[in-house]
Amino acid sequence: MHLHILGICGTFMGGIAAIARANGHAVTGCDAAVYPPMSTQLERLGIAMADGYDAAQLDTLARGADLFVIGNVVSRGNSLMEAILDRGLPYRSGPQWLHDEVLAGKWVLAVAGTHGKTTTASMLAHVLDAAGFAPDFLIGGIPANFGVSARSTGSRWFVVEADEYDTAFFDKRSKFVHYSPTTLVLNNLEYDHADIFPDLAAIETQFHHLLRTVPGKGRIVVRAGDAALERVLTRGCWSGVERFDSAGLGWAVSDAGEVSFEGARLGALRLALPGRHNRLNALAALAAAHHAGVPVAAGLAALAGFRGVRKRLELRGEAGGVAVYDDFAHHPTAIASTLAALREAGPDRPIVAVVEPRSNTMKLGTLRGELAASLAEADRVHCYAAGLGWDAGEALAPLGSRASIHVDLARLVEAVASEARSGDRIVVMSNGGFGGVQDRLLGALGARLAGGAADALAAKA
């Protein structure tokens, strides 16, 4: 079967493309801007892609396609989608295709929540893999231990990052209602996606629908003490429940890494990633894997070898003693967690936060009142405010002289590089490419270092 995928460079749809290809389908696709890292991954698989949504694709790259798989980036008015509708061609959403063609009969382990989905799902897939389960997976990022965001080999086990964003323009349910998990992790629940959800209660309803899809024999691993998740459970739960991050009542991990269940010590967590949030991600993965049959000791041993995920506090390079990190954080809670982890990893080293409020929620300004507090751990803050419909300077005023606002990316790079000193850690936080600012900063720092060396040689001469 020939599938043509609209929105193929999104992490989810790119994963669908990889899985479809592995299952023997011919795959082509398109996106508004064919961009890495997914474009690179897809090119390695030999998947041809068109840049844009020109309806002429129906007579060229997509000619003879048996099915069009539609990403949620596509809306009515999209020229290619309109042509598909006018011609009466068959189409389906990515989550529905995954459910119908791949997940049937599998033990699905899904990871849901506002924060930590990608890291927790990556940890879970790694633990299962190390235990010999060889799971298939579809994750919204690229785990370093696998080097790809998705794989499909016909395994009985399937790990999926379960996103609450809507499915498609013709299916406004959350993606995750299509996955029918046997094991479900609920990491946390806060208000986000202000472009599609009017309030937190609307998101809770979608999580309630998700719980309705878990079988009675299934297991829900839920963060203890999360008021929104407790409200979801109260609305109806028909499966076994285990809580984590709860002293004496379920799974717990201390700041020293001691893991226990119902108060009984199980072993030590040795994790390369810093931060309390990562220890809790690991604990959730450990509990979910245990439900699938992985002994706790084996899970702990596997987590010691977990190498992280691209764009999750990923060290991109160093120049002149300055480290540059890349992170996906864009919600205030995630920003605060990232900075706390970096502080934990080096309490005495200065932190420079370079932030792009790029998500739809942040662009709308819904959470701008929480932004300054989330950046409190940073020694300096540089905020890229181009295109915002609200005053970033006003929002960050509580930070005083520690914060600078920029609308020109080149000047932001210049300002950050000129201020940086050996020992500083620069962390770039955005849910997008941010104009390649990470590499631009490393280049500017390297150029400054080279210039300083040249000046020193000239002075000696």
Is residue 455's pLDDT more than 60? no
pLDDT digits (tens, 9 = 90+) for 365-415: 999 999 999 999 999 999 999 999 999 999 999 999 999 999 999 999 999
pLDDT at position 20: 97
Distance CA 93, CA 365 (A): 30
Calpha distance 215→239 (Å, rounded): 6
Can you list the domains of the chain with their CATH numbers?
Answer: 2-94 (3.40.50.720), 105-303 (3.40.1190.10), 314-454 (3.90.190.20)
Q: Which pLDDT does position 272 carry in this prediction?
A: 95
pTM over 0.85: yes
Band (pLDDT 50/70/90 cuts) for residue 457 is: very low
pLDDT band (50, 70, 90) for residue 453: very low
User: In terms of pLDDT, which residue wins out, 248 or 178?
Assistant: 178
Mean pLDDT, residues 118-135 taken together: 98
Which run of H or E residues covers position 70?
strand 67-70
Most distant CA atoms of the chain, gap in Å: 80
Say yes or no to pLDDT of 458 above 70: no
Q: Using the predicted structure, report yes or no on whether residue 219 has a pLDDT greater than 90.
A: yes
* pLDDT confidence of residue 450: 65
Angle at 12 between CA 335 and CA 389, to 5 degrees: 45
Given a cut of 60, whether residue 224 has pLDDT beyond it is yes
Whether 454 has a pLDDT exceeding 60, the answer reads no
Predicted confidence at residue 35, as pLDDT, reads 66
8 A C-beta contact, residue 292 and residue 319: no
Q: Where are the beta strands (DSSP E) in 216-283?
A: 219-223, 240-244, 251-253, 258-261, 264-268
Would the pLDDT of 249 be above 90?
no
The residue type of 205 is: T
What is the pLDDT at residue 449?
A: 74
pLDDT at 388: 93
Q: What stretch of H or E contains 448?
A: helix 437-460
Q: How far separated are the first and last CA of the chain, in Å rounded?
A: 71
Higher pLDDT, 37 or 231: 231
Confidence at 248, pLDDT banded by 50, 70, 90: low
Q: What is the pLDDT of residues 6-61, one digit of tens each?
A: 999 988 999 999 999 999 999 999 999 776 677 888 999 999 999 999 999 999 99
Mean confidence (pLDDT) of the chain: 95
128: which 2 tokens? 């299962």
Interacting residues of 113 by C-beta distance below 8 A, sequence separation 6+: 120, 185, 186, 187, 188, 189, 223
Question: Does residue 90 have a cis peptide bond before it, meaning omega lies within 30 degrees of 0?
Answer: no
pLDDT tens by residue, 291-334? 999 999 999 999 999 999 999 999 999 999 999 999 999 999 99
Alpha-carbon span 30 to 46, nearest angstrom:
14
* 4-28 CB burial, b ≥16 within 10 A, e <16: bbbbbbbbbbbbbbbbbbbeeeebb
- Tokens representing 5 are 């995928």
Residue range 278-296: mean pLDDT, rounded = 98
Taking alpha carbons only, the member of 250, 247, 244, 269 closest to residue 259 is 269
Residue 420 identity (one-letter amino acid): A
